[in-house]
Structure 1
Amino acid sequence: MKWAQIRPEHGTTTAVCLLDERVFAFNRTLDDMVAEGELNVIHSLGDVENAGGKELHADWNELPFTRLLTRPGKILCVGLNFTDHAEEVGAPLPEYPTIFTKYSNALIGPGEDIQLPAESNKIDWEVELCAVIGASTRRVSPEDARASILGYTILNDISVRDWQGRTSEWFQGKNWDRSTPFGPAIVTADSLDPAEGLSMQCSVDGVLRQNGTTANMIFSAEEVISYISTFMTLEPGDLVALGTPAGVGLSLRPRQWLSDGQTVTCTIEGIGTLANTCRAES
């Protein structure tokens, strides 16, 4: 099942789902439904109807998608979590997940412009699989962490590389305003398994830059969530971005960076495509 959020031009923001090629809309936002745990118990047509879903006779791919979650409580990211990416940047494989944080000021939705800051011209792309937490989670095993995952979406971890490299902490290169696209949909965990090796691509103006697979993740989603839950409680709607495969601009020779007007397109098998155009900050 797929879930998303739409905002018609003259309407209100509304949760929608795709079930058996049929589109249903709800009279609530996806934020509210995730926070209240409603998505955890909607699996069938009967569940959709009991939750108030009304069928929209529309093409899912033509819907006016907007940001999935407006202000997730926590956005946690894993660095160097793909073997091929660690190799391309010359880093040893980590013994533990390398965790850094983002804040909601950085997030944008599908189709929104990536804001390129005036302070840098070394701005990079990173297609990432992102787990969406569906239940309060603390001190769980990797096996039990699977039940905590509501589903998966796409996150483009745009990185301001010169600022990221100023210190040993990456935070300042990862949190620029309106720099991190995510979406367009959440695919529920019961219909998507990263362990099977989902293909991941990122292209810039149609030129393929990253072409990887989740089979190359060092730490699985369950292992990452178990690790994080050891020291903090994860709550419904929290995001956990799981790292990027090889092909980032930092590792190309000569290095390649994003510029005004370029379009970055990220695709993950089973989820869909996330496309955003870069605009220089005025």
Structure 2
Amino acid sequence: MRLITLKDGMRPAALVASPDGDRVIDLSGVAESVVRILGDASAADAARAAIEAADPSTLPLRSEVTLAPPVTPGTIFAIGYNYRGHTAADPDAVVADPAHPDVFVKTANALRGADEAVVLPLQSEDVDYEGEIALVIGTAGRDIDPADALGHVGGYTLLNDVSARDWQNRTSQWTLGKNFDGFAPLGPAVVTPDEISNPADLVVEVERDGEITVSQSTSTLIFPFAELIAYLSQAVTLMPGDVISTGTPQKLTSALATHRPLAHGDAVTIRVAGIGELTTRFVDPHKTPAP
């Protein structure tokens, strides 16, 4: 299933593939939220039954609705430097694998849905993007065994870890640079695990205004998904709906060489086969929004 939340009333729904484009089936009669469907087997079965019984020709097209974030997490955990190949500030330095995951959080004010533009803050001169696979917890857990960890995943989605690099680099703590309003676009859908045959072999691709700037497989993760879940759960009880954004690959050499801060009208698309595409548009608050 590909589960979404409709901004109108924050209702759970699903995307159903059809020849003329994705169509939307309202699941509010099945469960009160996407998180409930992800974490409750009976709700998930009822959702699947409703999808199978629906007539796609009677359903609205995806373009006819507005999406909220697919889930509203209690916590968004984010991971830094989790793909091999990240460059160091010193180009001659060798980047060793960290001993432990580099964990920070994205705050509630940063969360945005797939259909919302991100307003570029006037206070920053270097806003950047990071395309990431995000795990949505379906079943609560503490001190989770790595062998059991993927069983706690309710689904997979995408997150753009938007970052104000100038603010991020002011101190050793990244909090403010990572958490301007709107700096965590999430979605558009949560894809249930049965749709993902091998989470250890997913290619994260990012496109900025028509140019591929990132392309790297989860096979190169330093800390695979199960290890991240197990590690976080040693300190925190992971709750249904919590999100773990698993890190961004290094940008391609050509993209690094031509880096420029995000500007009004820019569009960034994160693409992972099986999970979908998240496109975020960036706007200057003093200019007319891009079409």
Query: TM-score range with shorter-chain normalisation?
Result: 0.7 to 0.9
Tell me which moved more, 272-281 or 29-38: 29-38
Deviations 1:37-75 (A, max 9, x none): 65544555x653479x86553376545241234631000
Which of these residues, 163, 169, 173, is aligned with residue 173 of structure 2? 169
Amino acid at match of 2:25: F
90-99 or 144-153, larger mean C-alpha shift: 90-99
Q: Which amino acid aligns with 1:16?
A: A
- Cross-structure match for 1:159: 163
Equivalences, count: 278
| Farther-moved stretch of structure 1 (222-231 vs 92-101) | 92-101
Question: For 2:5 and 2:206, how far apart are their aligned partners in 1?
Answer: 23
Given candidates 132, 139, 145, the residue that maps to 1:128 is 132
2:194 to 177, 190, 193: 190
Task: Tell me how far apart the structure 1 counterparts of residues 227 and 102 of structure 2 sit (CA, whole Å).
Answer: 12
- Residues 211-254 of structure 1 show CA distances to partners (whole Å, capped at 9, x for unaligned) of 12211111111110100000110100000000011117997124
CA distance change for structure 1 residues 102 and 194 in 2, over 3 Å: closer, same or farther?
Answer: farther
The one-letter amino acid paired with 2:224 is S
Q: Give the Cα separation in 2 of the matches to 1:263 and 1:59.
A: 26
Alpha-carbon separation, structure 2, partners of 1:261 and 1:20: 29
In the other structure, the counterpart of 1:140 is: 144
Matches within 5 A, 1:1-282: 1-7=1-7, 12-18=9-15, 24-27=25-28, 32-35=33-36, 39-42=40-43, 48-49=48-49, 57-58=58-59, 61-62=62-63, 64-69=65-70, 71-85=72-86, 91-247=95-251, 252-282=256-286
SS in 1 for 2:68: coil
Determine the C-alpha separation between the residues in 1 that align with 2:64 and 2:109.
25
- RMSD of aligned C-alpha atoms? 3.0
Distance in 2, Cα, partners of 1:194 & 1:163: 37
Aligned 8 A contact 2:69 2:112 in 1: no
Structure 2 gap ranges (5+):
287-291
Q: How far is 1:193 from its partner?
A: 4.4
Amino acid at match of 2:4: A
Contact 2:37/2:44, CA 8 A, preserved across alignment: no
1:205 and 1:110 map into 2 onto residues whose CA distance is 17
1:111 touches 1:274 (CA, 8 Å); kept in 2?
A: no
1:121-156, CA deviations, whole angstroms, 9 ceiling, x for partnerless residues?
211111000000011110011111111100100001
CA gap 1:33/1:277 in 2 versus in 1, 3 angstroms: closer
Deviations 1:143-192 (A, max 9, x none): 11111100100001011101111111111211000122110011111221
| Cα deviation, residue 28, structure 1 | 5.7
Gap runs ≥5 in structure 1: none
With over 3 angstroms needed to count, the CA separation of the structure-2 counterparts of 1:62 and 1:2, relative to structure 1, is same
CA change 1:239–1:61 in 2 (3 A) is same
Corresponding position of 2:289: none
Bigger shift: 241-250 or 198-207? 241-250
Report the secondary structure of 1:84's partner residue. Answer: coil
Check 1:135–1:249 CA distance in 2 against 1; reply closer, same or farther (3 A cut): farther
